């Protein structure tokens, strides 16, 4: 039998996985061997006869599980980016096994006893600051996980983790199946209103499916331009209904029963851990600390956002009437008439902008921004094995010209790739057991076309995900569990969101927004119209987001999740918060993958806005300095990117800003300030 490449040394440049050799059938044996090795490593730590010390316990735990981490990172990245029936079958089988394994390690009473002993002695251990925080966070994490509970409670927590892993996997696979199975085939006569870039993307989508004509898919990069530009209201409605029905179609992909069970099991877990509900358990370890603090922030933004939305609705309705549309505005009309109203108000046409935003130009803009702020450079490498022809590899060099990390870019939407945009790691930076450089991947879902032209929102998403990538690439944390994005949940979005601001720095646009054919820079008049229109539609965008964050909290504080009628609850919730007419949630529960395809953002979708308070306030410092690349401020910002979880995030922020963050810059950024 051929050797399993997952279990052999990875000899490609920079230790990249041997993607050209890996097959789905390699993962089961690799997982089995890796879990067994990890279990043996943990058992050796737990039974060590020497008294617990930082080295033989905390550092040893950091070193344990290397093989499992390597195999799991490779597998779950491929499942997200290049899924297949074979990989999904492995995922369904091994997600609960891995969850059980993690729970058994986390809840090992002998390990907890050693950590508790060290934590009680911490004042006399003479630890370095990062070691002290690592011990504190490890102890707190084990307590929060239930390691101090009685055996029956620990056993039940393991069962809950195992079942939740199965449900999360099923939820995500159901959404992916609904997205993959649905498409709308168009004839040429049905393309009215679509600009050239949208037609080309639809033609490419049809060709990928072996169809003649033009295809609209449920990838956001396909459906949103269609909803924006198509003049065929009947087809916009069909596309919109397909988009919002993901996970809510009767049959095998119906996510409603999964949601009820997920919420019920999370609530039970929270009660076992001494909390009234899951939201209180989750937020106790975040910067926000409690649901009431999150609700205050969201309500502080909700009121001005709904006022702004009504002003936008008036402008949209007027524009629609001028064009002869006298029917009531519906959800599938909003983006279309918003584009028309923006064009009329600001003499600004999104389709006229796109030729100046080619993917390559925006990528170079992001690289140049990182270079000026942080002194790094990116060089494309063509000798790296990659998992798909669309993926590109870039080596990041420090100011000294030395290798600092590898950045993989996976830009385009395709069948088998989950929707949205995200950053992940194949390997994180660390130095405690020898210098290890990171391998970071950014995934986007841009419509594949020749050339690939971005909307302004897609360019902003590229900067956002690249901000996450820099958080991983710049990390100088010694220990892997403190590296890069391994920070408190409501701080993880700050490094990504703050980088978005540099896209709209006029200097960036003048240099990098260039016509994909002629190389001519974005005309100054278009640049000024773009900047003037940035706040247009912010009522819509803010209401769409805040309502999703509020329903997240409502679901995770519900007293009887097992009895929920999800559809009825959604409608009652929207009525209770006063959701404006013709508005829907950005993410309806049945396809809200942030919440239900995993637990990372459960009771935590608010974190984007929590971080936006920080990012708007942080960039205001550069604006006050009159220099978007102010060297002193850039150095302070780099400290945050490098630190990972070696310091408390608010301590890091205060060191950068000299004070606590203020909410006013966020309201100003979104155009929601009154007066």
- Kind and range of the H or E element at 544? helix 538-556
d(CA 500, CA 265): 37
* Catalytic member of 179, 465, 544, 612: 465
Of the candidates 58, 126, 122, 130, the residue with the CA atom closest to the CA atom of residue 646: 130
Beta bridge partner(s), residue 186: 214
Give yes or no for a cis peptide into 164 (omega within 30° of 0).
no
The helix/strand/coil state of 392 is strand
465 among known catalytic residues: yes
Of the candidates 114, 28, 117, the residue with the CA atom closest to the CA atom of residue 71: 28
Q: What is the DSSP string of 131-166?
A: HHHHHHHHHHHHHHHTTTS-HHHHHHHHHHHHHHHH
Rg (CA), the chain: 25
Question: 566-577 and 256-272 helices cross at what angle (nearest 10)?
Answer: 70
> How many CB atoms are located within 10 Å of the residue 675 CB?
2
d(CA 441, CA 428): 11
SS3 readout for 312-379: HHHHHHHHHHHCCCCCCCCCCCHHHHHHHHHHHHHCCCHHHHHHHCEHHHHHHHHHHHHHHHHCCEEE
Strands 214-217 and 183-186 turn out to be antiparallel
Residue 208 has phi, psi (to 5 degrees) of: -65, -25
Strands 403-412 and 214-217 turn out to be unpaired
| Locus of tokens 């089988």 | 93
- Kind and range of the H or E element at 412? strand 403-412
CB distance 356 to 249 below 8 Å: no
Q: Which residues are catalytic?
A: 465
């Amino acid at each position: 039998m051929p050797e399993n490449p997952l279990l052999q040394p990875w000899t490609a440049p920079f230790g990249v996985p041997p993607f050209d050799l890996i097959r789905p059938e390699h993962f089961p044996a690799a997982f089995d061997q890796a879990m067994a090795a990890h279990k043996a490593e943990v058992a050796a730590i737990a039974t060590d006869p020497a008294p617990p010390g930082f080295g033989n316990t905390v550092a040893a735990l950091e070193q344990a599980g290397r093989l499992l981490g390597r195999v799991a990172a490779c597998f779950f990245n491929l499942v997200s980016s290049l899924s297949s029936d074979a990989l999904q079958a492995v995922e369904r089988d091994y997600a609960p096994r891995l969850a059980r394994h993690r729970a058994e390690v986390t809840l090992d009473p002998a390990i907890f006893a050693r950590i508790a002993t060290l934590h009680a002695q911490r004042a006399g251990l003479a630890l370095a600051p990062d070691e002290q925080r690592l011990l504190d966070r490890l102890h707190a994490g084990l307590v929060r996980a239930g390691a101090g509970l009685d055996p029956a409670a620990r056993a039940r927590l393991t069962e809950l983790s195992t079942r939740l892993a199965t449900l999360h996997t099923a939820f995500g696979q159901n959404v992916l199946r609904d997205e993959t199975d649905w498409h709308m085939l168009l004839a040429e006569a049905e393309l009215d209103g679509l600009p050239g870039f949208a037609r080309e993307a639809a033609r490419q989508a049809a060709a990928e499916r072996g169809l003649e004509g033009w295809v609209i898919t449920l990838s956001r990069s396909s459906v949103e331009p269609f909803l924006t530009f198509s003049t065929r209201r009947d087809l916009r409605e069909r596309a919109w209904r397909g988009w919002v029905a993901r996970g809510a179609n009767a049959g095998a992909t119906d996510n409603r029963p999964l949601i009820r069970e997920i919420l019920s099991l999370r609530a039970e877990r929270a009660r076992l851990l001494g909390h009234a509900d899951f939201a209180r358990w989750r937020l106790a370890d975040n910067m926000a600390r409690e649901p009431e603090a999150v609700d205050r922030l969201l309500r502080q933004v909700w009121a001005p956002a709904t006022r702004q939305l009504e002003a936008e609705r008036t402008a949209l309705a007027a524009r629609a009437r001028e064009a002869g549309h006298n029917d009531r505005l519906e959800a599938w009309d909003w983006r279309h008439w918003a584009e028309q109203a923006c064009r009329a108000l600001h003499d600004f046409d999104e389709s006229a902008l796109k030729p100046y935003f080619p993917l390559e130009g925006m990528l170079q803009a992001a690289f140049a921004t990182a270079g000026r702020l942080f002194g790094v450079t990116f060089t494309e490498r063509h000798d790296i094995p990659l998992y798909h022809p669309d993926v590109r590899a870039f080596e990041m060099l420090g100011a000294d010209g030395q290798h600092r990390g590898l950045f993989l870019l996976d830009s385009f939407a395709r069948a088998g790739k989950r929707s949205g945009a995200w950053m992940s790691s194949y390997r994180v930076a660390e130095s405690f057991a020898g210098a290890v450089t990171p391998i970071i991947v950014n995934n986007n879902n841009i419509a594949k076309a020749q050339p690939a032209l971005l909307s302004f929102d897609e360019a902003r998403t590229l900067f956002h995900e690249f901000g996450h990538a820099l958080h991983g690439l710049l990390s100088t944390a010694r220990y892997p569990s403190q590296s890069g994005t391994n920070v408190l949940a409501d701080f993880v979005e700050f490094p990504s969101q703050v980088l978005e601001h540099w896209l709209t720095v006029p200097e960036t646009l003048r240099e990098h927004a260039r016509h994909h054919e002629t190389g001519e820079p974005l005309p100054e008049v278009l640049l000024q119209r773009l900047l003037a229109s940035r706040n247009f539609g912010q009522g819509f965008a803010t209401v769409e987001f805040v309502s999703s964050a509020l329903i997240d909290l409502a679901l995770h504080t519900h007293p009887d999740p097992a009895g929920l009628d999800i559809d009825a609850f959604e409608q009652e919730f929207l009525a209770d918060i006063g959701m404006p007419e013709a508005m829907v949630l950005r993410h309806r529960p049945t396809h809200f993958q942030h919440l239900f395809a995993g637990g990372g953002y459960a009771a935590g979708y608010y974190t984007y806005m929590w971080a936006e308070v920080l990012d708007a306030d942080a960039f205001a410092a550069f604006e006050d300095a009159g220099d978007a690349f102010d060297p002193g401020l850039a150095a302070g910002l780099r400290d945050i990117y490098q630190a990972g979880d070696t310091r408390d995030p608010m301590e890091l922020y205060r060191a950068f800003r000299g004070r606590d963050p203020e909410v006013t810059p966020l309201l100003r950024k979104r155009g929601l300030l009154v007066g």
